[in-house]
Amino acid sequence: MSGREPPARTEDGRFIVVGGRRWRATDPAIPEEVAAELRRVLMAARRDVGTALRAGRDPAPARRRVHAAKVALGERGTPWWEQDLDERRARWEAGLHAPE
């Protein structure tokens, strides 16, 4: 473990607060092993954005993967608290099966 404190959350748990800014929190219904895999996909896509930029290539394909992973985590798209559990599960399962 890194020893870092988790970011503060709003009272309703829907957002984290980092540097005074609110960011949508990851859907708490996602099983931890699934969330960990989606975070792995997200971080790989973010690295690919940087690699493309440094190489002078178009980062758009990697940025699309970043967006897809964030949608799967519930951090973008329809807010997870506005979806029923079946919709939420379909969202994160689609993210697991998205092409890398």
List the end-to-end C-alpha distance of the chain, in Å, as a whole number.
27
**pTM > 0.85:** yes
pLDDT given for residue 3 in this prediction: 65
Per-residue pLDDT of the chain (100 residues), as tens digits, is 456 888 999 999 999 999 999 999 999 999 999 999 999 999 999 999 999 999 999 999 999 999 999 999 999 999 999 999 999 999 999 998 876 6
User: What does each C-alpha distance from 14 to 5, 26, 75, 78 come to in angstroms?
Assistant: 18, 8, 10, 13
Residue 63, Cβ density class (10 Å: 0-12 exposed, 13-18 middle, ≥19 buried): middle
- Give the amino acid at 42: L
